[in-house]
């Protein structure tokens, strides 16, 4: 339902949704609709004043003011593709989906989440950059789904020790930990141990920002890439591929995973680094939907699923097979390792 300031209410049609970025598009049939101009989220600066418009706790038309605290926040665990604007403008339950507006009245972000130990505002809120949301919106309207770019590599950030080992003076760059066979990266000549120091004219030092940049590029796009290999800079021409459906979709059995509200992946070097994991067997939980069965059981991103219904799980293939065989009582029994501890969690799928 969409309710406007003038009191009109409309039933909306969902045009498309992208759970991997937490963005959806809805449509209403109406005249004389008020609109806000979209700004450039890449141009906003830390310290810039912003307004987080929304309906916190059902209190409509609230305009808390704050500043942009940080940009490019990733690895928060809210979505698969994260590049959040962090703000100290008060964001609370009921603000989600509302605009983050600059002082020119332009939308620079879409409020989506908060960091909180109390359930309310604690000074840290997150908004999806409007440039990212707008790119996803265009695809959802045109095709009803999102097609993401793909290179076929596992990546990790450079620590001071790694940078020194690769003969680098600073930590600017993305380390290639693995290259998939027959992937666009392999075809372009990218190898394990290469350091990507420039990609499409930009430098990166965070895996989340690099992954988002690749994902938003149209398959077939040719990208000039500069790498460091054996201490020497080399130029490569990469052609962006299409993210395979298996990776683009929520992994595992879609029906049962949707019901319990979480996404999982194989434990790649990138995810192991992101979540601080030490084991390579099992599957890692990368996202848990708010208010889902999994969330109510206190399941959190970063946990490793070791068993499904008492069956040991070594990888995503094992997980899919086990999850497809849910018992008649529709209860999925998971053994989840969280840090140094493991616990059983029973999740009902009906």
Q: What is the DSSP letter of 114?
A: E
The answer, yes or no, to whether residue 131 has pLDDT greater than 60, is yes
Per the model's pLDDT, the better-predicted residue between 281 and 63 turns out to be: 63
Nearest to 36 by CA among 109, 89, 92: 109
**β-sheet bridge partners, residue 226:** 198, 235
**What are the C-alpha distances in Å from 264 to residues 18, 144, 299?**
16, 23, 12
**β-sheet bridge partners, residue 347:** 332
Domains and CATH numbers, the chain: 34-143 (2.40.10.10), 149-242 (2.30.42.10), 250-348 (2.30.42.10)
102-111, 179-188, 280-289: least confident range: 280-289
How many other CB atoms sit within 10 Å of the CB of residue 27?
13
What residues contact residue 42 under an 8 Å CB cut-off, 6+ apart? 129, 131
> Residue 294, CB half-sphere, CA atoms under 13 Å: how many?
24
What are the tens digits of pLDDT across the range 99-124?
999 999 999 999 988 776 666 677 78
Per the model's pLDDT, the better-predicted residue between 346 and 280 turns out to be: 346
Structure tokens at 240: 């962006």
Euclidean distance between CA atoms 263 and 81, whole angstroms = 13
What are the tens digits of pLDDT across the range 143-180?
888 888 999 888 888 888 788 777 777 778 888 888 88
202-216, 268-282, 310-324, 335-349: least confident range: 268-282
Distance of CA 227 to the CA centre of its chain: 26
Distance of CA 321 to the CA centre of its chain: 25
The tokens 């008020």 sit on which residue? 34
**What are the C-alpha distances in Å from 46 to residues 120, 152, 248, 319?**
23, 33, 32, 42
> Residue 258, CB half-sphere, CA atoms under 13 Å: how many?
6
The answer, yes or no, to whether residue 185 has pLDDT greater than 90, is yes
Is the CB of residue 295 less than 8 Å from the CB of residue 288?
Answer: yes
**β-sheet bridge partners, residue 145:** none
pTM above 0.75, yes or no: no
The answer, yes or no, to whether residue 247 has pLDDT greater than 60, is no
What are the tens digits of pLDDT across the range 53-99?
988 887 888 889 999 999 877 665 556 666 789 999 888 888 888 99
Nearest to 152 by CA among 213, 214, 195, 206: 214
Calculate the average pLDDT of the chain. Answer: 84
Structure tokens at 42: 């890449």
**β-sheet bridge partners, residue 288:** 262
What are the tens digits of pLDDT across the range 202-240?
888 888 788 888 988 889 999 999 999 888 899 999 999
Q: What is the pLDDT of residue 254?
A: 41
What are the tens digits of pLDDT across the range 23-48?
899 999 999 998 999 999 999 999 99
**β-sheet bridge partners, residue 157:** 174
Segment (H or E) for 234: strand 232-239
Q: How many helices (H) and strands (E) does the chain have?
A: 9, 23
The answer, yes or no, to whether residue 256 has pLDDT greater than 70, is no
């Amino acid at each position: 339902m969409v309710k406007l300031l003038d009191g009109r209410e409309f039933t909306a049609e969902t045009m498309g949704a992208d759970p991997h970025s937490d963005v959806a598009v809805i449509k209403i049939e109406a005249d004389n609709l008020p609109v806000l101009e979209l700004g450039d989220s890449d141009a906003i600066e830390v310290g810039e004043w912003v307004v987080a418009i929304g309906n916190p706790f059902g209190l409509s038309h609230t305009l808390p003011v704050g500043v942009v605290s940080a940009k490019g926040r990733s690895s928060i665990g809210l979505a698969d593709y994260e590049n959040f604007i962090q703000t100290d403008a008060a964001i609370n339950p009921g603000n989600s989906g509302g605009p983050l507006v600059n002082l020119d009245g332009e939308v620079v972000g879409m409020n989506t989440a908060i960091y909180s130990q109390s359930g309310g505002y604690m000074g840290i809120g997150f908004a999806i950059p409007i440039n990212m949301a707008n790119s996803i919106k265009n695809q959802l309207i045109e095709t009803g789904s999102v097609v993401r770019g793909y290179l076929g590599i596992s990546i990790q950030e450079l620590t001071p020790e790694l940078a020194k080992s690769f003969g680098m003076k600073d930590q600017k760059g993305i380390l290639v930990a693995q290259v998939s066979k027959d992937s666009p990266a392999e075809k372009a000549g990218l190898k394990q141990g290469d350091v990507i120091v420039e990609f499409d004219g930009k430098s990166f030092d965070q895996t989340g920002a690099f992954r988002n940049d690749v994902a938003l590029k149209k398959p077939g796009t040719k990208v000039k890439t500069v790498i460091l290999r054996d201490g020497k800079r080399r130029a490569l021409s990469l052609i962006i591929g299409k993210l395979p459906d298996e990776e683009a979709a929520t992994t595992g059995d879609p029906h049962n995973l949707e019901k319990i509200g979480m996404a999982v992946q194989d434990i790649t070097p990138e995810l192991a680094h992101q979540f601080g994991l030490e084991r390579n067997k099992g599957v890692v939980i990368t996202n848990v939907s708010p208010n889902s069965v999994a969330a109510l059981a206190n399941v959190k991103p970063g946990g490793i699923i070791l068993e499904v219904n008492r069956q040991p799980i070594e990888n995503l293939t094992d997980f899919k097979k086990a999850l497809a065989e849910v018992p008649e009582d529709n209860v999925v029994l998971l053994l989840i390792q969280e840090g140094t501890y493991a616990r059983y969690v029973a999740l009902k799928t009906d």
